[in-house]
Amino acid sequence: MKIIPFAVTAIALAIGATPAVAAENAASESTKAFNQQLRDYLPFDDDTDFENARRGLIATLDESVIKKPDGSPVYDTAQFDFATGDAPDTANPSLWRQSQLNAINGLFEVVEGKIYQIRGFDLAVMTFIRGDNGWIVVDPLTANETAAAGLTLLQEHVEDIPVTGVIITHSHVDHFGGVKGILTQDEVDAGEIPIVAPENFFEESVSENLIAGNTMSRRASYMYGNVIEKGPEGSLGSGLGTTTAAGTVTIAQPTITIDDTPTTEVVDGVEIEFLNTPGAEAPAELMFYVPEFKALMQAEEISHTLHNLYTLRGAKVRSGDLWAKYIHDVINRYGDDVEVSLGSHHWPTWGNENVVEYWEKQRDTYRYLHDEVLRLANHGETMLEIAEQIELPDSLAQEFYNRGYYGSVSHNAKAQYQLYFGWFSGNPSELHELPPAEEGAKFVEYVGGAEQVLEKARQDVDEGNYRWAATALNHLVFAEPENQEAKDLLADALTQMGYQAESGPWRNFYLSAAKELREGVAEVATPDTASPDMVKGLPLDIYLDYLAVRLNHPEAVGKDFDINFEMPDVDEKFTISISNGVMNYTIGDWAEDAAATVTIDRAQLDSINLGETTMADSIDAGDVTVDGDQQTVDEFIGLLDSFEFWFDIVTP
Rounded CA gap, 403 and 361, in Å?
A: 12
Rounded CA gap, 478 and 487, in Å?
A: 10
The beta-carbon contacts of 439-448 under 8 Å, at least 24 apart in sequence, are 439/475, 439/478, 440/474, 440/475, 440/476, 440/477, 440/478, 440/479, 441/478, 441/479, 443/472, 443/475, 443/476, 443/479, 444/475, 444/476, 444/479, 444/480, 447/472
The whole-number pLDDT of residue 214 equals 86
Q: Same structural domain for residues 548 and 399?
A: no
Q: Which domain holds residue 592?
A: 539-638
Compute the chain's Rg from CA coordinates.
26
Is-cis flag, bond preceding 19, omega within 30?
no
Measure CA of the first residue to CA of the last residue in the chain; give whole Å.
26
The answer to the question of residue 474 being in a domain is no
Residues of the chain where predicted confidence (pLDDT) is lower than 70 = 1-24, 209, 525-530
The answer to the question of residue 427 being in a domain is no
Rounded CA gap, 577 and 562, in Å?
A: 4
SS (H, E, C) 108-157: EEEECCCEEEEECCCCCCEEEEECCCCEEEECCCCCHHHHHHHHHHHHHH
Which of these, 445, 484, 489, 448, lies nearest to 471 by C-alpha position?
489
The whole-number pLDDT of residue 208 equals 73
Q: What angle do CA 562, 566, 567 make, to 5 degrees?
A: 145
The answer to the question of residue 426 being in a domain is no
Domain end residue (candidates: 355, 390, 409): 409
The answer to the question of residue 300 being in a domain is yes
The answer to the question of residue 319 being in a domain is yes
Listing from the earlier edge strand, what are the strands of the sheet with 256-258?
A: 57-59, 106-111, 115-119, 126-130, 135-138, 163-167, 195-198, 256-258
Rounded CA gap, 514 and 490, in Å?
A: 7
The answer to the question of residue 446 being in a domain is no
| Strand (E) or helix (H) holding 615 | helix 615-620
Domain end residue (candidates: 409, 426, 451): 409
Number of domains in the chain: 2
Residue 242 CA from chain centroid, whole number: 12
The answer to the question of residue 520 being in a domain is no
Overall pTM > 0.85: yes
| Strand (E) or helix (H) holding 56 | none
The whole-number pLDDT of residue 21 equals 38
Which of these, 608, 599, 598, lies nearest to 629 by C-alpha position?
598
CATH number at residue 623: 3.30.1050.10
The whole-number pLDDT of residue 484 equals 98
Rounded CA gap, 364 and 386, in Å?
A: 18
**551 φ, ψ (degrees, to nearest 5):** -60, 130
Domain end residue (candidates: 380, 409, 438): 409
The answer to the question of residue 395 being in a domain is yes
pLDDT in tens, 135-188: 999 999 999 999 999 999 999 999 999 999 999 999 999 999 999 999 999 999
Q: Same structural domain for residues 402 and 543?
A: no
What SS3 state is found at 319?
A: coil
Q: Which amino acid is residue 24, in one-letter code?
A: E
Rounded CA gap, 366 and 303, in Å?
A: 12
190 close to 206: Cβ distance less than 8 angstroms? no
Rounded CA gap, 255 and 252, in Å?
A: 9
Helices 450-462 and 436-447: angle between axes, nearest 10 degrees: 90
**Cβ neighbours of 211 (radius 10 Å):** 14
Q: Same structural domain for residues 223 and 364?
A: yes
Residue 138 bridge partners (DSSP): 127, 167
pLDDT in tens, 292-349: 999 999 999 999 999 999 999 998 899 999 999 999 999 999 999 999 999 999 999 9
CATH number at residue 101: 3.60.15.30
